[in-house]
A and B are shown apart, each in its own frame.
Chain A
Amino acid sequence: MAEITLENVTYVYGKGAPYEMRALDDVSLTFRAGEITGLIGHTGSGKSTLVQMLNGLLKPDSGRVLLDGKDIWEDPKQIQQIRFQVGLVMQYPEYQLFDETVEADIAFGPKNMGMDPEKIREAVKRAAQFTGLRPELLKKSPFDLSGGQKRRAALAGVMAMEPAVLVLDEPAAGLDPGGRREILGRIREYQQKSGANVIIVSHSMEDMALYCDRVLVMENGRLVMSGTPAQVFSRAEELIAVGLDVPQITRVARALRDAGVDIGLDIYTVKFAAHRLLSGREAHEG
């Protein structure tokens, strides 16, 4: 069980300077264990700042960040221990690869944790499996991998620490549709097998709708909405008002209602829309 709670967290960039900016403004929320939470917001909404709060890369100006009820800043010297429990995969993580082999690179985190060599080998193997890296790739230099493989190697580097909380900032950025599905599918599989608390930050409404159990929406450093994807995306007008988009299919559902075919507004995946649309129809026909 690993639950992260933010209590009235505020964070200000460039305090006192003319460009002072309140990145987080009295944010309180909980990321529950055992589910995938999606964090949505446009650039500058504070979501990247929030992510860096979770593993102590940034320290709140006021308020507390609690991991299983314990303030992560209780002992600032132990912040490294927090980072082992809250794994963070940054945006474009392939740019952090550095070691001679993929295997050694994945082992960097576990080594820093002080795991013994036997356990490290195990952890690396498991992480490679989770991310779908074939064993023969482990002996290669990370710089010889393809773009998608690099991304997965970097992801494995964090997964190998077996963190109770896994935070991912735009894990599918820049990938093509196949690559997006692959990496997000693997993350979901990892969540289901490990029971970890997984937090995904993304701009892509379509991806969030497909892969998250719960969605949080940030705007101007505040939390403005939270709920299941169905609950959040059924409030399409509000999302659009804060400059976010909704999946195209959600718009179709609205247009369908206006055209006299009501399949509900809580539509956010095509399959679900088709299901509502067609199974309802068959029942009607039968």
Chain B
Amino acid sequence: MKADIAFGQYYEGNSFLHRLDPRWKILFVIFYIVIIFLAKNIFSFALLILSAIFLTLISRIPLRTILRGLRPLVFIIFFTAIINIFWLKGDTVLVDWWIIHIYLEGLINALLIVVRVVILVAGTSILLTYTTTPIALTDGLERLLSPLAKIHLPVHEFSMMMTIALRFIPTLVEETEKIMNAQKARGADFSTGSLVRRAKALIPILIPLFISAFRRAEELATAMECRCYTGGKGRTRMNILHSSWRDVAALLALCALCAGVVLLNIFAPGYALAL
């Protein structure tokens, strides 16, 4: 209950984004990332910000949830902003005091980079992880990669591994916490002492964890066998993926966004990103 991790944080819903075909969604995310990196000046960035707001609105995910997902990034954002503000030189001096020189260009650059990182993370997670169940995601990936099975790459096995990993991550996180508590209760100390000492202190956690993981794996394998699992051959799926008008609409919207960004880059120069 406490051990919730920001990984695979699916947000239950039935919005336009939730109903997109996961195969398309994976491609859309790649497309969206490309568009984000295409944006060069404050006008095209403004368009990007609009697109991110639009995504948030149609996903029907509370803003608070999305902002909470960004929390781990605060340090990186802060750090890149500082570097850009203090180290980038330009023509318009804003502050010139002792060894500190801050230029307008540096400030804008910092701002744009921060916006880029935020949209990159928020946009991709809204488009993909918040609105797609992990299993649909691996499913989509399996089918996108299915042509590779023809050249004998284990696509199904890979996707089954992903599915099982996703299923067991919360279980193992919980288990780690339990084992840590058990060893703490026996006086184990993970937080003081030299690096070597701390590494050694992990043994009483790692060994039981590994043994338990192996036991789980064995039991799971037996259970899967009892449920007639014999690999990918002859297996069908309950949910067949099919593209709908939504996927076409989303594709068109992304193309429009891409065109908009490129046009704004060309026809509205000025205040451009230095990197």
Q: Hey, which bits of chain A sit against chain B, CB under 8 A? A: 13-14, 19, 21, 52, 55, 57, 80, 83-84, 87-90, 93, 95-99, 108-109, 112-113, 143, 157-158, 161
| A93 touching B182, Cβ below 8 Å | yes
Contact between chains at A112 and B208 (CB < 8 Å): no
Q: How far is the CA of A13 from the CA of B3 in the complex (A)?
A: 11
Asked if B211 and A143 sit within 8 Å, CB to CB, the answer is yes
Least CB distance from A11 to B in Å reads 12
* Docked-complex contact A96 and B187, CB < 8 angstroms: no
Whether B208 lies near A109 (C-beta < 8 A) is no
CB distance from A181 to the nearest CB of B (A): 25
Q: What 1/0 mask marks residues of chain B from 229 to 262 whose CB sits below 8 Å from any chain A CB? A: 0000000000000000000000000000000000
Contact with B204, one of A14, A19, A108 (Cβ below 8 angstroms): A108
Q: Are B179 and A95 in contact (CB under 8 A)?
A: yes
Residue pair B203, A90 in contact (C-beta under 8 Å): no
Residues in chain B near residue A52, CB distance under 8 A: 181
Cβ–Cβ < 8 Å partners of B186 in chain A: 83, 96, 108-109, 112, 157-158, 161
A83 to B183 alpha-carbon distance, docked (Å): 10
In the complex, are the beta carbons of A96 and B208 less than 8 A apart? Answer: yes
Task: Give, as a whole number of angstroms, the nearest-CB distance from A80 to chain B.
Answer: 6
* With A80-B187, A109-B186: A95-B208 Cβ-Cβ less than 8 Å: yes
Tell me the complex Cα distance, A97–B208, Å.
Answer: 6
- Residue in A52, A83, A158 whose Cβ sees the most chain B Cβ within 10 Å: A83
Determine the residue in chain B with the shortest Cβ distance to A44: B1
Say whether A84 contacts B182, CB under 8 Å.
no
Known A-B contacts A13-B1, A108-B204; the reply to A88 vs B212 at CB < 8 A is: no
What are 22 A-B interface contacts by the 8 Å CB criterion?
A: A13-B1, A13-B2, A21-B1, A57-B185, A83-B185, A83-B186, A84-B187, A89-B185, A95-B175, A95-B182, A95-B212, A96-B182, A96-B183, A96-B208, A98-B203, A98-B208, A99-B204, A108-B188, A109-B186, A112-B186, A157-B186, A158-B185
Chain A contacts of B183 at CB under 8 A? 96, 108
Min CB gap B76→A, angstroms = 24
B2 touches A90 (CB 8 A): no
Residues in B neighbouring A13, C-beta threshold 8 A: 1-2
* Most central of A19, A84, A96, A98 by chain B CB within 10 Å: A96
Q: Given A97-B208, A143-B211, A112 and B181 touching (CB < 8 A)?
A: no
Name B155-188 residues within 8 Å CB distance of A.
175, 178-179, 181-188
Point out the residue from A14, A55, A99, A143 that lies within 8 Å of B185, measured CB to CB. Answer: A55
How far apart sit A108 and B186, CA to CA, in the bound complex (Å)?
7
Question: In the complex, what's the smallest C-beta–C-beta distance from B60 to chain A, in angstroms?
Answer: 16
Which residues of the other chain, A, contact B228 by a CB distance below 8 angstroms? Answer: none
Query: Which residues B169-223 have CB closer than 8 A to chain A?
Result: 175, 178-179, 181-189, 203-204, 207-208, 211-212
Q: Which residues of B contact A (CB under 8 A)?
A: 1-2, 175, 178-179, 181-189, 203-204, 207-208, 211-212
- Given A13-B2, A88-B185, A98-B208, 11 more contacts at CB 8 Å? A19-B1, A80-B187, A83-B186, A95-B179, A96-B208, A97-B208, A99-B204, A108-B204, A109-B186, A112-B186, A157-B186
Tell me the complex Cα distance, A69–B204, Å. 33
Chain A residues contacting B182 (CB-CB under 8 Å) are: 88, 90, 93, 95-96
Which residues of chain A are near B184, meaning CB under 8 Å? Answer: 57, 83
* Set of chain B residues within 8 Å of A108, measured between Cβ atoms: 183, 186-188, 204
The answer to whether A57 and B207 have CB atoms under 8 Å apart is no
Q: Which one of A96, A109, A158, A161 contacts B179 once the chains associate, using CB atoms below 8 Å?
A: A96
Residue of B nearest to A21 (CB): B1
Residue in chain A with minimal CB distance to B2: A13
B179 to chain A: closest CB distance in Å? Answer: 6
How many angstroms between the C-alpha atoms of A19 and B189 in the bound complex?
31
Residues of A within 8 A of B179 (CB): 95-96
Task: Name the B residues within 8 Å of A21 (CB-CB).
Answer: 1
Return the contact of A14 from the options B2, B188, B212 (Cβ within 8 A): B2
Question: Which residue of chain B is the closest to A86 with respect to CB atoms?
Answer: B185
Using CB atoms, name the residue of chain B closest to A92.
Answer: B178
List of A residues within 8 angstroms of B208 by Cβ: 95-98
Complex formed: what's the CA distance from A161 to B186 in Å? 8
B191 to chain A, nearest CB (A): 10
Q: Which residues of A contact B189 (CB under 8 A)?
A: 80, 112
Minimum CB–CB distance for A200 against chain B, Å: 16
Residue of B nearest to A109 (CB): B186
**A57 touching B187 in the complex, CB below 8 Å, given contacts A95-B212, A98-B208, A108-B204:** no
Chain A residues contacting B212 (CB-CB under 8 Å) are 95
Chain B nearest Cβ from A97, distance in angstroms? 7
User: Residues of B contacting A97 with CB < 8 Å?
Assistant: 208
